[in-house]
């Protein structure tokens, strides 16, 4: 469990490219595995979470290889062609990988067992198990619908007409992936629009998919089942959730200017940028273009004073993974920041709402934690810092990276107790920040 310390740092300067988008990388491997032909993927995230999905697709019969040129190549088996695995599928720390794979398997006539690390085994899966059961699959889970889970896919899968009870791109995607091998039309009604990477990628591979307006004007995604998906080339943009860490670090350290190359700016994923701009941040999009169906830009962040604001609950789906690092920006800002609608943070890799509040208190920042709200009293400058106690990360990569960012902008160093989880989503995180001028060392 390698501990790290972030020391108070001077301005960050330079250009960098954050790693590939994790959400898109999972989907590229899974959809490539059910295509006809060979899919070439450039920029795939090579973190532990995505590598677990790659291993799972190999176990299900797809050919998945990384070439010496850095391209990943997936030779698929076609819709309905996945094979029964010989062993348990270990999804590591990835809730996205596990939930989406349950959807894909639900309409294949195979039996498989999914497990994960201690953190993933504690996370709820009933939210996908319940609708997938209606599609004809059966599941055996631990108490509370948790991993390990045995899934027995439907021999004659049924299309679903499903209204999401809560905004969740993972549940939406699991239902759509199950619908790929079901005859007829699968429909998903969203109360609030969530990240749409699955829909964009299905269209990129040739699926028949349409977005309609429901009776109350909400989005309805309609997928025609049993298509022949055609393999094609994909370029994965840099992950906006990973870019958030050097972005916020640059905003907090006076004199900084950092350019982040090739970052995805999907409108469903840039709630953090909208929020930071409302706080007064100088963030610019340059060289805006489209790559493999996803909008992409180079993001330039210039340091400046931030002010506290109130973040509305309806923004949460577009930035749910970024609230921990937003809380660090709020700690440095002038005035109070109120973040609402954060109940989903309690069932992430950790109870992120509680863990962020605990860490901020250790760093001398006044914070209030309510059931789905976080209130941070900004210091109007550098917070006190961590003192002699390391921040408990609770096996959560985003908690680890967020408090290292805060340490760069604090009066005293901030240490974290375990940096290993960072590898699940952001391999090379420390070296990238050091390359920009950050002072991060072994504790």
Cβ atoms of 362 and 355 closer than 8 Å: no
Phi-psi region of 106 (alpha: psi -120 to 50; beta: other; left: phi over 0): alpha
Sign of the torsion angle spanned by Cα atoms 47, 51, 52, 53: positive
Classify residue 316 by its DSSP letter: G
Q: β-strand 414-416 against 4-6: which pairing, if any?
A: antiparallel
SS3 290: strand
Convert 246-275 to b/e letters by CB count within 10 Å (16 or more is b). bbbbbbbbeebbbbbbbbbbbeebbbbbeb
Convert 175-187 to b/e letters by CB count within 10 Å (16 or more is b). bbbbbbbbeeebb
Q: Other C-beta atoms within 10 Å of 121: how many?
A: 16
Nearest to 258, CA basis, from 76, 432, 15: 15
Which residue bears the tokens 């577009």?
Answer: 318
d(CA 429, CA 410): 19
**Length of the chain (residues):** 443
User: What are the phi and psi torsion angles at 38 (to 5°)?
Assistant: -110, 125
Helix (H) or strand (E) holding 98: helix 95-106
**Is residue 215 annotated as a catalytic residue, yes or no?**
no
Residue among 321, 417, 418, 439 flagged as catalytic: 321
CA distances from 380 to 330, 337, 354 (A): 9, 12, 23
Classify residue 400 by its DSSP letter: H
Torsion angle of C-alpha atoms 401, 395, 167, 277, degrees rounded to 10: -10
Q: Which residues contact 368 (CB under 8 A, 6 or more apart)?
A: 357, 374, 375
d(CA 177, CA 174): 5
Enumerate the H helices of 222-270 as residue ranges: 240-252
Active site residues: 321
């Amino acid at each position: 469990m390698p501990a790290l310390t972030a020391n108070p740092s001077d301005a960050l300067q330079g250009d960098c490219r954050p790693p590939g988008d994790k959400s898109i990388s999972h989907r590229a491997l899974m959809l490539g595995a059910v295509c006809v032909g060979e899919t070439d993927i450039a920029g795939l995230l090579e973190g532990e979470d995505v590598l677990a999905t790659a291993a799972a697709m190999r176990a299900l019969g797809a050919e998945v290889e990384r070439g010496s040129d850095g391209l990943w190549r997936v030779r698929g088996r076609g819709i309905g062609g996945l094979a029964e695995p010989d062993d348990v599928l270990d999804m590591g720390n990835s809730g996205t990988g596990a939930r989406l794979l349950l959807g894909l398997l639900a309409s294949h006539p195979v039996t498989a067992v999914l497990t994960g690390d201690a953190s993933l085994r504690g996370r709820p899966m009933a939210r996908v198990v319940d609708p997938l059961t209606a599609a004809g699959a059966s599941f055996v889970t631990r108490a509370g619908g948790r991993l390990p889970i045995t899934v027995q896919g439907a021999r004659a899968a049924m299309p679903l007409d499903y209204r999401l009870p809560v905004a969740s791109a993972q549940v939406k995607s699991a239902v759509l992936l199950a619908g790929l091998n079901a005859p007829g039309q699968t429909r998903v009604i969203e109360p609030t629009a969530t990240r749409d990477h699955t829909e964009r990628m299905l269209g990129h591979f040739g699926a028949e998919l349409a977005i309609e307006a429901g009776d109350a004007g909400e989005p309805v995604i309609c997928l025609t089942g049993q298509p022949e998906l055609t393999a094609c080339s994909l370029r994965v943009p840099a992950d906006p959730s990973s870019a958030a860490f050097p972005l916020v670090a640059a905003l907090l350290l006076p004199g900084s200017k950092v350019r982040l190359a090739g970052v995805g700016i999907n409108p469903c994923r840039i709630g953090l940028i909208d929020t930071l701009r409302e706080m007064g941040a100088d963030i610019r999009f340059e060289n805006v273009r489209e790559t493999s169906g996803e909008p992409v830009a180079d993001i330039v962040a210039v340091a400046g004073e931030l002010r506290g604001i109130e973040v509305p609950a309806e923004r949460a789906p577009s930035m749910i993974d970024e609230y921990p690092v937003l809380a660090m920006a709020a700690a440095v800002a002038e005035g109070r920041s109120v973040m609402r609608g954060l109940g989903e943070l309690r069932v992430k890799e950790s109870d992120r709402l509680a863990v962020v509040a605990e860490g901020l208190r250790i760093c001398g920042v006044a914070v209030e934690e309510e059931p789905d709200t976080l209130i941070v009293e900004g210091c109007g400058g550098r917070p006190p810092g961590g003192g002699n106690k390391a921040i408990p990360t609770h096996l959560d990569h985003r908690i680890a990276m967020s408090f290292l960012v805060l340490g760069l902008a604090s009066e005293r160093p901030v240490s974290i107790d375990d940096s290993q989880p960072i590898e699940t989503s952001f391999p090379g995180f420390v070296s990238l920040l050091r390359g920009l001028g950050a002072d991060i060392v072994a504790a």
